[in-house]
Structure 1
């Protein structure tokens, strides 16, 4: 959890893909109805049965889509069903060569719904299968007779695949950056209040108890800003943030709540261990020499600790207890730990 990876990343992807899958399912239902009527009118009952099955599956999936936690799994099932039905249409002697125009949408749909790696592999598999079916149905004579047309199809399909892959890669990077920005303090790189709340809820859900909170407030920090400027104050905050990272485990979380106030979330940590860690951190801060430009600064911190064996009331009550202990440390002369 130590500066953990943002948990909002998958949530953003799920919202994006849930809406896209809903739209595609409605399109599937509407177009399936049209193709069912067309295939029935020309006596292509095998294709009609495939279209009916796909339409029924799409309608059922629409009913569970808003609440399913297994969105990626159902998106994969949907794409395999849709593409397999398309392959059946490709292989059917009753369909014309124009049905192969559907290969152009395969890379786009698979990348958008399944991401660049799973979507890329799945679409590549079906593209190769499509080419194999084409050669099986029409042989090499068709390729030799219309090389320009075949080259156009291959070029456009390759472009669709590459553009879909590049687009999805850039979208994932942008989404990850937004998630990091949403969960991270921009000055120190520590977690912010939002990530603290998420990590706290996760620790409670996973029964990582007892759960401890350590609140740290830098003593007389306002003097640094007043006497040396905010740039020096910001540099000090970054140094303190680094010191906090060095004192915590991978499962812990270091957070900046605002100003000169910080917090540590310590899952599976009893009060004695939390106080020992807090005291080591206090001693480390006391011995630090914070250098910025021509300034060499010494400072101390007051720390409050709170621990709960069953924090069912949420994060705020624990923050309140830790904050009260922090102010007791202030009134006790600062540069000490209470809790």
Structure 2
């Protein structure tokens, strides 16, 4: 019997050859603060595709200059960025992998020279600038930036878009009562706190009909933060809106130390998958093929997002296949050393 990790998974018109996803991870490799793809990015993403990941998701890519997590982050706020992403996609697709991009905005966690914005004028910590509270006009401008980013992502040839609603960045800041102290239609009730994400999803869907993922922080690790009931409300609303998969991470909303251990976030993917009836991705110290296979066989998630293990080993899928005693095809260039 073929290991489930190496079975195909189809969303809409896109089929991933296996259930292994390279999770989006900041590479801090833009050298001139212009958000442009550099040679490192081409090598980094293609090498993981050659390693036989089913889906490669490019790091959090800023939809506005002030939305960058750092000045070294990729951007997609102008048409000039499209050509570099086309080159990334050429390399990824060359090896039979699908490509995705995570569209993001850092909000109050942006460490950039520009003026920064958030739902409320609360700094993340003493090490961060205090953001300016977003006006309704600024909110609408930002929603438009996500829409424009999605349109450029389509032009660049991506197969999947993921909206970054986790790790304490802008969308997460609106979702959380810890960071959203607004008294207008974008704050207060759970429904109001969801409004920004709802409107971003709607805007993206106007220009994008392919697979749409959303990453969330399912546990905020802060007293008074969102509960699992809040998260299930958000997940069910996303499902109604046509989001195809929820990528279940945790943390980053407030500066607290998180106790991590193998698979420490998987339970959230399982709960949301079963209670909200929506496909999920599991992430968080998943490092072995056996661990990934257990998650899939027990129907706890649909896709396995591998992060740091992919930084250590671009050929992690081969390592996992060997553990599970499965033979997978390697890139033509490496076949002499692939299955020996």
TM-score class normalised by the smaller sequence: under 0.3
Tell me which protein shows more helix as a share of its residues: 1
Larger Cα-atom Rg? 1
TM-score of the superposed pair, with normalisation by structure 1? 0.21
TM-score of the superposed pair, with normalisation by structure 2? 0.21
